[in-house]
Amino acid sequence: MKEIIVKDKVISQNTFTMIAGPCSIESEEQMREIMENVEADFYRGGVYKPRTTADSFQGLREEGLALFKKLRNEYNKLIITEIMSIDQLKDVGDIDIIQIGARNMQNYDLLIAAGKTNKPILIKRGLANTVDEMLGAISYIEAQGNNQIILCERGFRSFDNITRFTLDVAAIPVLKARTPYPVIVDPSHAAGVQELVEPLALAAVAAGCDGLLIEVHPNPECALSDADQQLTINQYKNLKVKVEKCVQLR
Ligand code: PEP
Ligand code: MN
């Protein structure tokens, strides 16, 4: 079983890790509210955003990253952010965890480059990828000598659009049986709407996930990306209490 140690935190199949924060970093005020009021092991916030259309908010990029690092140091927190290109790897050398998003799960050159770093890599399942394809993707990271890998199930596209994506709860025990790596679940992107984040999160905990990644925003209705699915800080607090109770029952 792989233990990923980041400062005082251990991410593994024996611990439970909460990752929380907004879809996108939008302002200093927004991120201060998050860091001051949200309790989590790692704080997330997108700066390089893989958006479906070029005219939507693309993230604050280098400026957002500088802000994230500044606040991480000031509040003494641990942070994770997504990169979309090999180029961006040089900017995130001192980020605690690098995220490879669903849209890049099969970007093999990016996986190879990430594998050459000594950073923990959280890799999300692609929008239309099988578990076997996900295992193939991580083999590229491992082949470069990096086995600090965190797997993330976030739902795949199915025939039913009742949810934004279909959360594959069965993938949790399957990934845990087939790999030594921790499996984190992101119910936010699967749900697509606030109301479904909690039931999906609790189902994932019951199925044995090793942590959750939850999108939280001080003012979700004004969010510049994924406005419908981000929880308020209070909703997150309530969810966290329930998650902790469920974890204890396992
Ligand atoms: C995200 O985490 O903000 C994100 C873009 O997620 P995904 O890659 O799962 O769509
Ligand atoms: Mn998002």
Tens digit of pLDDT per residue, the chain (250 long)? 999 999 999 999 999 999 999 999 999 999 999 999 999 999 999 999 999 999 999 999 999 999 999 999 999 999 999 999 999 999 999 999 999 999 999 999 999 999 999 999 999 999 999 999 999 999 999 999 999 999 999 999 999 999 999 999 999 999 999 999 999 999 999 999 999 999 999 999 999 999 999 999 999 999 999 999 999 999 999 999 999 999 999 9
The pair of structure tokens assigned to 17 is 């890790």
Query: Does ligand 1 have an atom closer than 6 angstroms to the CB of 217?
Result: no
Verify whether ligand 1 is closer than 6 Å to residue 46 (CB atom). Answer: yes
* SS3 (DSSP) at 107: coil
Cβ-proximal residues to 87 (8 Å cutoff; 6+ apart), any chain: none
| Nearest ligand atom owner, CA of 228 | 2
Tell me how far apart the alpha carbons of residues 82 and 211 are, in angstroms, rounded to a whole number.
18
Give pLDDT, residue 87. Answer: 97
CA of 118 to the centre of ligand 2 (A): 26
Q: What is the pLDDT of residue 165?
A: 98
Whole-model pTM above 0.85? yes
Instruction: State the pLDDT at residue 249.
Output: 96
Nearest-CA residue for atom 3 of ligand 1: 23
124 beta partners: 152
For residue 185, the model assigns a pLDDT of 99
Atom of ligand 1 nearest to the CA of 23: 3
Report pLDDT for 73.
Answer: 98
| Chain length of the chain | 250
Within 8 A by CB and 6+ apart from 173, the residues are 207, 208
**CB of 93 shorter than 6 A to ligand 1:** no
* Nearest atom (ligand 1) to Cα of 225: 3
Structural tokens at position 33: 């509210």
Q: Is the CB of 102 under 6 A from ligand 1?
A: yes
CB atoms within 10 A of CB 58: 17
> 46 alpha carbon to ligand 1 midpoint, in Å?
8
